[in-house]
Structure formats: C-alpha cells, structure tokens
Structure 1
Amino acid sequence: MGIEKARAHLKSWNRDHEILEYAASSATVELAARALDVEEARIAKSLTFKRGDQAVLIVTAGDVRIDNRKYKELFGSKAKMLRPDEVREMIGHEVGGVCPFGINEDVEVYLDTSLRRFDTVFPACGSSNSAIELSCTELEEIAGSRGWVEISRLI
C-alpha cells in the first residue's frame, strides 16, 4: 500500500524508476544505512507529530533528534509524536516506511536544516525496505515542503 502511493507520487515527477528496494529491512536509520552502505546521517528520517488535529511530518538527518524547545518555539506546542495507528491514519504510510511521498493531502511537510550538509540524502519510499537518493533541492520540491526549519540537535 505505502510503496505504491509513494511510487505513484514519484512517477508524477518521473522518478519512480529510481526507487531502491532491498531484501533486508531498512525500517530504522541503522538498517537503512547498512542496506544502502552510507553513513547514518545521510538517511532522511521522517518524524511525525500531532499539532491539534493536524499531522506534521519533519524530515531530518539520521543523526539528529528534535529539540523540544525549538519545536515549541516554532509550532507553539509541545512536540507530540504520533502513535503507530495514528501514523497510518493521519500520514498514509506504516511506521518503518514513512516518507513525504504519497502522503495524505492535509499533512504539513517541513525539512530540517540538518539535511543541508549533504549533497544527497536517502528518504524511504513508503515501505520498510525502500529508499531513493535525492538532492536536498529535489527533496524539497518533490515532497511539497512548506520550507526549511532548524529544530534538531545531534544525538
């Protein structure tokens, strides 16, 4: 389900043929980095939050976490991650394959500046064993990002 939604979205950008699929799981940053043979920081992890009745998806580098103080300053509320059942319902993908492609229309997508230190990054593509390599500019455009935010800190 998720990969097909992501594939359809990427097809509209003529990028669906670039999806990388693996026999091994890439559901976590560590597993994805191992499957792709890249450093963990280059894995573009999608974190999902609930803000009121809305879902927010923030894509960060694999070696950072959300800084709660910065999140609250930007969004005006405490960072509250979605539960797995909420992720499926509010985002449109299962945990382990969450990505900014083929998501529900009302989801706000932001990119964290932690990604900008890389020429290319690897976001998932809707399943626990897929990814695509994109530049940050391509990710911003294809994901329909509302912009860049600086709300992370190194783990």
Structure 2
Amino acid sequence: MSFESVKKHLKQWNRDQDIMEFDTSSATVELAAEAIGVIPARIAKTLSFRGEGDNAILIVAAGDAKVDNKKFRHTFGFKARMLSPDEVFEQTGHEIGGVCPFGLKNDLAVYLDESMKRFTSLFPACGSTNSAIEVTLDELATYSSAKGWVDVCKNWQESINEEVPAVQAVNSK
C-alpha cells in the first residue's frame, strides 16, 4: 500500500514510471547503493523525528551524513528524538527501510539537509524496502513539499573531496 501511495503521488509529475524496483532489498543505505550501483552518499535517507505536538518531522539527508544533536536543537529548538518503527509507520504510512518524503499518510514537515547539495541527483526510497527513484535536488524539494534546507548533519563534510570524483565516475558510465 505504501509503495502505491508513493506511485500515486509521483504520478502528478509523470514520474511514477521512473520508480525502480529491485529483486533484492534496498532497505539500508548500503543495500540501496549496491542495488542501484552508486556510492552510499547518493542515497537520500529519510529520518523521522518527534516534532512539537503530535506530528513528526522528516529530515532527508545524504546517505553518509549523521544527525548532529547540537545543530538539530539549534535549528528546531528541541532535542532530536527519533521515532520508533511503529511510530514511523503510524506517521508516514511507510515501513522502516522504505521511508521517503513522498505519498505520506500525514501532512508532515519535511526538511532537506545541506549534505545532499554536493550531488546533482540522489536516490530516495519509494515506500517499500526494494524501491528507489533518481531525482534532482529541485525535484526532491518539489515532490516532498519541503519546508526548506537545513544544516543539521555532520560527518559528511570530511568526505566531500573524496565523494565528488566518485560521483563523476558513476555519472560517466
């Protein structure tokens, strides 16, 4: 059902036919990168946090980025607390491993992390543990109705110089 809600959501932009489905799991950054044939940093992972009130907030970040608690608290004004798998499903309608900012069950605030800006395209999941779609940064912002860009992650800046040549090598194949 989750995959179908994402497909229906992406149909608005005639992108539903561009969803890739794999015979193997793409439920983790590493598995998704292997299934697609890209470096893990190009996987756009969607992280679910407790927001203020009843709704969660989603942060979409590069696959090699980790949430920085200080930056998160400074940006949002509250502590970063991830949702349990049951809460993720309840809020997004997607199971862990297929969570994406598309076709959501609830109207959630989506933010895009700066860690993704070093790439021209990324690969978020599409509501199942064996799917993804390649999108540009602008498409990701549009399709997710993102509220904006934030800088709440760490550990990706050190690898910028290493990652860019790898991306160029992947894109030139």
Tell me whether the two structures share a fold, i.e. TM-score over 0.5.
Answer: yes
Q: TM-score range by the shorter chain?
A: over 0.9
Report the counterpart of residue 145 of structure 2 in structure 1. Answer: 144
CA offset digits 1:69-126 (Å, max 9, x no partner): 0100111111000000000101111101000110034210000010010011000000
Report the counterpart of residue 34 of structure 2 in structure 1. Answer: 34
More strand by share: 1
1:35-74 mapped onto 2 (5 Å cutoff): 35-52=35-52, 53-74=54-75
Question: Aligned with 2:25: secondary structure?
Answer: coil
Provide the identity percentage: 55
1:99-118 mapped onto 2 (5 Å cutoff): 99-118=100-119
Question: Aligned with 2:33: secondary structure?
Answer: helix
Report the counterpart of residue 120 of structure 1 in structure 2. Answer: 121
Partners of 1:55 and 1:106 within 8 A in 2: no
TM-score, normalised by the number of residues in structure 2? 0.88
Report the counterpart of residue 85 of structure 1 in structure 2. Answer: 86
In our comparison, the structure showing a higher alpha carbon Rg is 2
Equivalent residue pairs, number: 155
The one-letter code sitting in structure 2 at the alignment partner of 1:119 is T
Structure 2 gap segments, 5+ residues each: 157-173
Partners of 2:91 and 2:106 within 8 A in 1: no
- 1:12: Cα distance to partner? 1.2
Runs of 4+ in 1 over 3 A off after TM superposition: none
Report the counterpart of residue 135 of structure 2 in structure 1. Answer: 134
- 1:13: Cα distance to partner? 1.3
The one-letter code sitting in structure 2 at the alignment partner of 1:14 is N
Question: Aligned with 2:97: secondary structure?
Answer: coil
The Cα RMSD (Å) is 0.9
More helix by share: 2
Report the counterpart of residue 9 of structure 1 in structure 2. Answer: 9
User: Is residue 9 of structure 2 the alignment partner of residue 19 of structure 1?
Assistant: no
Partners of 1:113 and 1:148 within 8 A in 2: yes
The one-letter code sitting in structure 1 at the alignment partner of 2:98 is G
